[in-house]
Each structure stands twice: as structure tokens, then as C-alpha cells.
Chains A and B, each alone.
Chain A
Amino acid sequence: MFTPPPGRRAVVIAGLRTPFAKSGTVLRDATAEELARHCTRELLYRAELPGDEVDQVIYGQVVPSPLLGNVAREVSLLPQLPRTVPAYTLNRACASGAQAICNGADQIMAGHANVILAGGVETLSDVPILHTRKFAQILANASRAKTLGHRLGLFAQVRPRDLVPVAPGIGEPSTGESMGQSAEKMAKENHISRLAQDELALMSHQRAAAATADGRITAEIAPWFGGPKMDQVVTTDNLVRADTSLEALAKLKPVFDRQYGTVTAGNSSPLTDGASTTLLMSEERAKALGYRPLAAIRSYAVAAVDPGWQLLMGPVYAVPLALKRAGITWQHLGLVEIHEAFAAQVLSNVQAWASADWARRLGLSGPVGEVDWDRTNVMGGSIALGHPFGATGSRLVTSLANEMARRDVQFGLISICAQGGMGFAMVLERVV
């Protein structure tokens, strides 16, 4: 277990996000930059943090616009901050936001920074649409052509099929399998029933709805002023369905295997737009500035599996590693946040952690742990709230830290599965 020098523990002070919205709906006109800047700026105001205290900005984004490669720098160029705050954007797929926070924590523990804004953003309403490689080459050559004749000659090579735009895929480049297909495969191989998946989805919606109604979630959201007159104010996530039921979920057709499949739009996380930022500090700086930290980042771990196998099983490996690095066991956990990419994936992970068979495969003396649903995803999860790839990690950290403070829980765990067979886990510890 790594112990940072005195005062150098990285602590979570606060976090804030935009509403999470189904792609193509209320945030469709916003760019990633606008979303990221909006929640970060609002976080600064709500935390009453003077901008010149900020040392670094680290942001995660999975599908960046080719027009804007480093969204983090756009965030650090908010006029509320000095122009001299360095910033970078990283991509650890769906764990990007969490990775940004852990990178920030590393910087703090190493003594390289005291105050860091870390988070992530995704807008799938603004995905780049590409031309085919051949058409792109013709355009590039045409721009270099010296004569009109040469230019026309180049364009004469264009065939209709070259003009069909190409959307960037979110499937696995190594296997060609889409995320949903992987989830479907896992459901079958791990024998996760349709009912179990739908029940998890129902719980996700009900808990998210309750936490929205009682204000725990809305307190983490910076209202978004949308519409041409900016008076269409979005204060909540628009994917949560308080009124859904098992019957309604059961009616949905499987998406990836129409005949024998169990993975539906209802028990998967939807394509979502949103951004989230978490404010990190060294413990000593927090104290000097008069902040009361919500939690400290105790450990984290990343693992990866062969994407050709069960794509979303990475967390099974990452979690025991993070627990070990934290020097604790599953029994110490008072709260657990599992990113819900698919109900089938969550249940597959949960099953593996509880399995003696899996414990042997992981080289552990016993199972990782048994999930207690009363202490897991207590404010709902990505199925109900949505999943802007880059942002989810920061949402999880903020929500978990807030809930740990509310419940006065000593240890909390975050588990995230990510594209490429990766798994991410993080242990938070309450700071008293």
C-alpha cells in the first residue's frame, strides 16, 4: 500500500456536472467544449474557489471533435482561470473521467500540484462524420493541384459510394464486435437472465428518480440554459424514468440478437451528452484554503482482458487489485458504485467477484466479495442517468464522495468497465 507524504493525500472537495441528456435532445446544440466549460466554471463559483488557485486541468474525452483535440485546454482557458494553467485531455475509454481524477491525484501526491480540476465530457450529438479514405485523398490532392484540368481530373475519379459518409464506430477495432454484441455474448455465456437484467435496470431508474426527487442528484448538476432564448433550463437528467416498470422493460425487443437476445435498450446505458468536473486538492492546501474534503483517493487500479473474450470483464481484475493497493478488503466497503454499461455486464462482474472459481483464476484465497445491493449504486447508475463516456468517471467520484460524506462511510469503491477490455477501479476513503 502506497502512503503519500503528510498533507499530500489527494482529496475530493466537490464536483459538478451538466445534466446528462439523451444524445440529440436538449444538449444537441452544445459542443463538448461548452459543456465542459459550463460545469467547470459553475463548480468554481459554487466552491467559491478563486481561479488563480488552480494548477492543472485534466479532462477525459473518448470521441473528440477533430476540430478540437484538447478540450481540457479550452476548460483551462476559462476567463475565470489564469491563462497559464496547463491542461491535457486523455482517453481511457469509458473510464476517462476516472483516469483524469487519478492522474490528478498522482500529481498531487507527487507534490507537483495542489489544486486540480479533473473530469470528462462527451457529446454524441456532435460526433465527427468522416469522408471515405479515398474521397479524402482526392480532396487533399485536389487542394494541391496546380491546374484546373488536373483538379477536374481528380474529381472525375469520384464514385457515388465514395461520398457515403463514415461515422466513427464505437465498436472494438480489434474484433469488430460492438459493445452491445459483447454484452449479449456475456449475458449468454454467464447465464444472466433477461429478468435479472430488467430488474437491475428498474432499480437503477427507481433509485435515480428518488435521488433526483430528494435533491441529492440535482445538487450535483449545474443548470443548463438551452434553446434560442436560453430560457429552456435543464436542471435534471432526461433519461431517468420514474414510472418505468418490469412490464414496460419486458416489452422491449432485444437489440443485438433479435431472436435469442436479452440485451435491450432498457437494460443498457444510452448514448448520452454531458460533462462533469471534480475538484481535487492536496489535503494540506484544502486545509489552508478552509475546505472540508469529502473523501480522499486511497487507491486505484487498471486492468485489461483480451477483447475477443468477454469484453467487459476488466473490472473483475481491477477491483481486487485496487482493494489490495488500498490495503482493505471488500468487507470494509460501505458504498460501491458500479458503472452500468449494460445490466448484463454489471451482473457478470458481480457474479465473478462472488465466485470461488473466479477467485482461483485471480489467484486469490477467496472470492473478491459479495455485492450488497443496499450499498451499491444507491443513487442509480448509468442505465438510468446515462453515460457520456468521458464524463461518467467524474460523476461516479463526485456522487460517491458526496454519499460517503452523507452516510459517513469510511471506504467506497468505484468500478468501471471500458472499451478494449479494460477495467478500472478506485477506492475512496472518508476524510475526517
Chain B
Amino acid sequence: MTAFTIERRGSVAIITFDTPNESVNKISKAVGWEFEELLQRLESDEVVKAMVLRSGKPDSFIAGADIDEFVQLRSVEEAVRLSRDGQLMMQRVADSAKPMVAAIHGACLGGGLELALACRYRVASDHPKTMLGLPETQLGLIPGAGGSNRLPRLIGVRAAFDIILAGKSVPSKKAFKIGLVDELVPEAILLEVALAAAEKLTRDWEPARKGRGLTGFLLDGNGIGRSVVYRKAREEVEKKTGGNYPAPLRAIEVVHTSMASGMAKGLEAEAQAFGELAMSDVSRRLVEIFFATTALKKDDGVPSGTARGRPVRRLGIVGSGFMGASIAGTAVLNAGVEVRLKDADLARVGLGLKTATDILAGQLKRRRMTRFEYQRKRAYLTGTGDFSGFGDAELVIEAVFEDLAVKRQVFASIEEAVPPTTVIATNTSTIPIHEIAADAQHPERMLGMHFFSPVDRMPLLEVIPTDRTSADAVVTAVQFGRRMGKTVIVVADSPGFWVNRILLPYLNEAGLLLEEGVPIETIDRVMTRWGFPVGPVMLMDEVGLDVGEKAGKVMHAAFGERLKPSRVIGVMRADDRLGRKNGRGFYFYKDGHKAGVDGSVFQLLGVRPLGEVDEQRVEDRLVFAMLNEAALAMSEGVLRTPRDGDVGAVYGIGFPPFRGGPLRAIDAMGAAEVVGRLEKLEASQGPRFHPAPVLEEMARGGHRWYPAGNGR
């Protein structure tokens, strides 16, 4: 492997990083060795006085460290050593007698940024794809190759926390503003500017770095100010993570040590923290989810090579309600396709166009899009009262009201308007796809695409083929879903598909708890503590009680007594409570914002809220209702792999990522333990908690969903 090539420009050596057969550059052990060798060679080369590091990959500098190597780690010591090795590599660059300049174009993340930080000077392109960041905390880690030490020294503790703690990357313009890069230039002259800087550095040039201003000094420049920064950061992290994610807190500690006791101590702390975190369950689960998501990006939902999708240029959407319109806006925004939005009523079409346009306008407002881009994308959106312009659509998504008869009728009219090659998808959360497709003339191009609301923000998409759907149609839908920015799982056409299948028993159990008088805030607190972003009761408000009621009935009809809906939704609906959408739910709403618990559900139910509650029991009932259903669905073949189930749960309902998904959670506990807990619940709560046969089987055989060992 030769990841690096050298080209000389006078006394400056241009190092081009371009790992063969990879789409992006990653820093691995092998790359480290090669780099070390290269440095030695250049340092002993008398002609070379300075170096410029650039990437040979289009629109990508260095994507980060090779995470595969993290997974191989067997012990804390080994992980500490990996971090130490990384630190040494960066230290060599920083200490080298021949200054190195980073010429950054494209993503510069994780280990890539740590390498850039070790360089003497950083020039970045002003291209929108040039993003810099340290995403380690998203994998339950901290920057472990000196980044936790160098970043606060370069840009100050406060700004460093902004980058390290949330693990989000910043565009190069922002990076320049906060001093993370020294110069911002058009890509066309990036190399020339970097070369000039390298040349100047050989002549003892000291690049002027911007001061941080008065606030910067008050907060960063002195011990008292910094202690405020540390305290604030800690408070914020605790509030956000609920104590479930240790990495950001460790990062704060490391930075603190580094700034208070010097870089040597800081690097030691960094390696130690990295090592311990890398071996933690939380990081393992997060890495697994990361790998699963990455794998899904390459998975078209059918065995590879068996089918070909059609690239979508024009998307037709029938039904311009909130769902259809949001699909339209998101498709234009992320996939950049022409969208024809059709509804029988033109005023509804207009409202839909507005909803879709607002999704674009939001991006403009948050400056994620230029005004020109906005104008251009907006012009992709058109509305119509008939099917004009549908003839050229490669994909049509039907998003009308959830009613079988209506959907069938609309489906028939779409079939008349489009050629037989157009893939037609129905967006439904509850109706079996094969029933909608029952009378189709071309059933092979028909499938379900279950989007989650709000479409522009929810990352998951379920693609649901029927028995008769062609593999080509599946691939077309999956690939398009990905272009829309979604993580796509392919799910069998069974009631509730996957996400609602496991969500419903959980929400229903919350309803049963309410019937028993368990306070709303207790239920929601228990589950947010467990790691969900919102509790089940609030989630019902968000989803809408009308939607919940409908889904509940479908699931009850499909699965019988086990999923008999609690009384709660019925009494709420009778009191005209739809949740957030009409401002009347389990919570109060004021101007569209949540404003405290509305306890009237208990009056409606005629029960008195309990004063004291066994919170562990509340947690068990909710969690095991979901885990048991997940196991049942898996055993029925709703999904192709447990991977899809876990990713679907994490992205579809916010299942705590650090628990890795419901199936990982079962594996973590062990099937025997899960069966034991379920049996106890069955004894006290009734047969709905009867353990899924597959779990009993797994318990007997000591089986797991995933093979034991590392996470791939």
C-alpha cells in the first residue's frame, strides 16, 4: 500500500494522501507506519525544508481514524496504546524541524483534524464540503490523538468544547472565524497558498493568530474564567445526556487536566480516557450502530447484483397534506429532484407547496443554503390538480388519507396516469400494502414507503415490498430514500411493519399505567432516564391521538388480546384531544409549545393519580413490552437482519443508541434473563407479557441475535 505520494515544489514537498481502493482517507495503523517512514525520509532530505499535506480524494481531506481498529481492541491497555501511538504520530509532525502545512479541502474529521491541528499552519478551501470536526463523542469516545489537548490551546477552551462535546462539524468559514484554520481561500488556489505559507515558515515566520477578544480573555484567558467554562459545560452535558453518555464528561476532564497541568499530563489523561471509553459498553453500542448504519448505506434491500434501481429525476406525490408536502420538501432539499405535488383540491395543493417550501426556507434561515440555491430548489416544486407532468415520473408516492378504499381508488388513478415502469409507493403507517395493491394492474411496481413525521427531521424510512413487488422496484425506492437523506430498512408487509409494531405495545403499556393512576410525569421521566429522547406519553401527544387510535385498532385486529388498546385513547378522543396538533393532549400547550402536564386524563378515566409509584416496575413494563414484541416480530421474519431492527428502533423511535437497539439490549441482558423478567411480569400483569417463543428457545440454547464478540 502506498497511501502517500510526494512531489517536490522547490524546497517544499507536497505530500498527497490518497489511500488506494478507498473512497476516503482514514488514519489506520498501517497509514501511521507509512507516514512515519515518510517523515523520516523527508527529514533526512536536505533539499526539503517544509511540507504541505493535502488529500488526493475529491472533496474529502481525511474522514478520521479507521474505526474498524477500535473494534478489534481487546483491553483498556491496548486501547490506551492505540491512542498513544496516534499521539506520537501527531507529535512527530508538531515537533518536526521541517514545518508541515495542511491544505484542507473536503471533510476533515476526527483523526484528520487532529493531524491538521499538529501541523504548523492550516489553509482551508471555502467550499461548502469543507467541514471540520471531532465526531468522537458520537461514538462514545474522545479525540485521542492529541486533539483534546491541541484544540483548546489553539482556539480556547470554550470554543473547543463547542466542537468536541457535541461531536458536530463546522463549515470552513466558521472554522476560520474561530481560528481553527489560519486562512480561507478558494479551492483553485488552495495548494499555492499552502505552498507559500510553507515556504515562509522555513524563514522563521510566525503566523499571527487572532486574539480571542475580551470575552475570550475573561472566560478563557484566566483560571477563574475557565472554571466557569468547565462548570457550565459539565452542567450542559449532564442536562443533555442524562448521565447516559460518559464521553463528553471525560473530554471536559481531559481538557481541564491539560490546561491546568500541561500538555504532557493532558496527553496522558487523554490516552487513559480514550482507552477506558473505547472498551466501554456505551462506545461499543454506538460504534455498532455506526457500522450498521454505514452498512445499510450500501444495502439496497435485495441481494446485491440481483436488481437495478431507476434513478429518480422526477417524483410525483399524490396527496398534499402535511405528510405528502413534507416528503415533497425533503425530496427537493436532499435529493434535488423535480416534485409534482397533486391533490384534487388546488387550495390544498397550495398549502402543501407552502409546507414544502417552508422546509427549504428553514434551511435558508439557518444559513445551510444560499439564497440562490433556495430559489433554484424552490423552482423544483410544482403543484397540480390533475396528473399532468406525472408521465415522466420514475417514482410516485401516494400520501393520501389513511383509508383503504380511498388509497385503492387513488392508486388506480395513478396507474392510469403513469407508464408501467413508474414505481408507485404508498405512504402508510398501518394499512397492509398488499391490500392497497390488490387490484393493481402492475403489482410488481408497487410497494410501501413509510416515512415518519416530521419527514424533514426523522431519519428513518421503512420500505415495504409485497410478495409481488419486483426487486427493481425495491432498489429504486431504497436508493431514492437514501438520496432523501434517510436511513432505509426493508420491512415485511405485516401489520405495523417494524417500527410501529414495537412501538405500539410500549405506548399501550403506558396507557395501561395511566389507567392505574401512574402520573404522566413519572412515566415519561422513567423512560427519558432510560435513554429515550421523550417519554411514551409525550410521544402519544406528538404522534397524535387520532393516529394512535387508528394504529391501535389495526394492531388489535391483527394480534388480538395481547394488544387490546387501553381505555386511555378512547376517553381522550371523546374529549376532543388529539395531542399537540390541536393543543389538547396529555400536556398543556401554549403557542405551540409544551406548557406542563395536563392531568385531566385522570378525571376522564375516573382514577386518582398515585402518590407513590414503584418506578422500576414502570420501567420494566414499558421496556419489556417493547423487547418482547421486537423478538416476536423478528421471529416472524418482519426483518431481514437484527441489524435493521436495531437501526430502525434507534432512528425510528429514538431507542437509546447507547443500548444499541432492542435486540442488542436483549443480547446484553441475555435471553434467559429477559425470559425470566417477562415471566414475572406475566405473573403480575397477565398473558400479554408471555415471553416470545423465540426468546424461550434462545434462552434454552444460550443463543443471541448477534454473534458474540466484536460488533460487526
Contact = CB atoms under 8 A, between A and B. Distances in A.
B676 interface: no
B23 interface: no
A230 B351 contact: yes
Interface in B314-366: 338, 340, 346-351, 353-354, 357
A86 to B, nearest CB: 18
Interface in B36-95: none
Interface string A50-74: 1000000000000000000000000
Contacts of B391: 48
A37 B379 contact: yes
A106 interface: no
B382 A42 contact: yes
Interface in A223-254: 223, 225-227, 229-233, 235
Interface string B380-418: 101111001101100000000000000000000000000
Contacts of B389: 45-46, 48
A25 interface: no
B351 to A, nearest CB: 5
A80 B338 contact: yes
Interface of A is mostly: loop
Nearest to A228: B354
A37 B383 CA distance: 14
A134 B379 CA distance: 40
B376 interface: yes
B338 A79 contact: yes
Interface in A213-231: 223, 225-227, 229-231
B384 A78 contact: no
A17 interface: no
B346 A223 contact: yes
Contact of B350 (A37, A50, A79, A229): A229
Given A223-B385, A230-B354, A45 B340 contact: yes
A242 to B, nearest CB: 21
B350 A232 contact: yes
Given A46-B389, A48-B392, A41 B350 contact: no
A408 B347 CA distance: 36
Contacts of A79: 338, 376-377, 379-380
B470 to A, nearest CB: 25
Nearest to A233: B346
B359 to A, nearest CB: 14
Contacts, number: 57
Given A45-B340, A80-B338, A225-B349, A50 B392 contact: yes
A225 B388 contact: no
A347 to B, nearest CB: 39
Contacts of B350: 225-227, 229-233
Contact of A78 (B354, B379, B385): B379
B382 A41 contact: yes
Interface in A70-91: 77-80
A29 to B, nearest CB: 14
Contacts of A233: 346-347, 349-350
A48 B386 CA distance: 13
A235 B379 contact: no
A219 to B, nearest CB: 11
Nearest to B385: A223
B707 to A, nearest CB: 48
B404 to A, nearest CB: 28
A161 to B, nearest CB: 37
A50 B349 CA distance: 23
Contacts of A232: 347, 350
A229 B354 contact: yes
A2 B648 CA distance: 69
Contacts of A42: 382
A223 B349 CA distance: 11
A230 B353 contact: yes
Given A37-B379, A41-B379, A78-B379, A235 B388 contact: no
Contacts of A48: 388-389, 391-392
Contacts of A223: 346, 383, 385
Contacts of B380: 79-80
B351 A46 contact: no
A78 to B, nearest CB: 6
A48 B417 CA distance: 12
Contacts of B340: 45
B313 to A, nearest CB: 9
Nearest to B354: A230
A225, A226, A227, A232, most chain B CB atoms within 10 A: A225
B353 A45 contact: no
A230 B350 CA distance: 5
Q: Which of A46, A227, A232, A233: most chain B Cβ within 10 A? A: A233
29 contacts: A37-B379, A41-B379, A41-B382, A45-B340, A45-B389, A46-B389, A48-B388, A48-B389, A48-B392, A50-B392, A79-B379, A79-B380, A80-B380, A223-B385, A225-B346, A225-B349, A225-B350, A225-B354, A227-B350, A229-B351, A230-B350, A230-B351, A230-B354, A231-B351, A231-B354, A232-B347, A232-B350, A233-B346, A233-B349
Given A231-B351, A232-B347, A233-B350, 20 more contacts: A37-B379, A42-B382, A45-B382, A45-B384, A45-B388, A46-B389, A48-B389, A48-B392, A50-B392, A78-B379, A80-B338, A80-B380, A223-B346, A223-B385, A225-B353, A226-B350, A230-B350, A230-B351, A231-B347, A232-B350
* Among all A-B residue pairs, the 3 with the closest Cβ atoms: A45-B389, A225-B350, A230-B350
